[in-house]
Amino acid sequence: MLAYKIFRNSEYQAFVRDGFSAGAPVDLADGYIHLSTAAQVPGTLARHFAGESGLHLLAIETEGLPDLRWEPSRGGDLFPHLYRELRAQDVTWSRALPLGPDGHDIGELA
């Protein structure tokens, strides 16, 4: 199963440059990297990234991913939380998330 991380452009550029990331400021504050399932991505975008351009979506395979925990969050839904840095080798694919007149175009998540 894939989980997803949304980075702002500066966070994404640092990730590409360094090959790893301890996450965005909210991740650093909470002590883990917030991820979302495909079904949770639209709500995460609406709640935390509404109207922001320059976003990047990273897909991470959860099968066998060390230090991943599923914990309750918004509305009691279980969210994937990564309790270590996100590494380049964890990422299956990444792409830009364009902002259009109707919000972010997440396309097909698979």
Q: Which domains does the chain have, with CATH numbers?
A: 2-58+65-97 (3.20.170.20)
pTM, two decimal places: 0.93
The confidence band for 69, taking pLDDT boundaries of 50, 70 and 90, is very high
Q: What are the tens digits of pLDDT across the range 44-58? A: 999 999 999 999 999
Q: What are the tens digits of pLDDT across the range 14-33? A: 999 999 999 999 999 999 99
Name the 3-class secondary structure at 81. Answer: strand
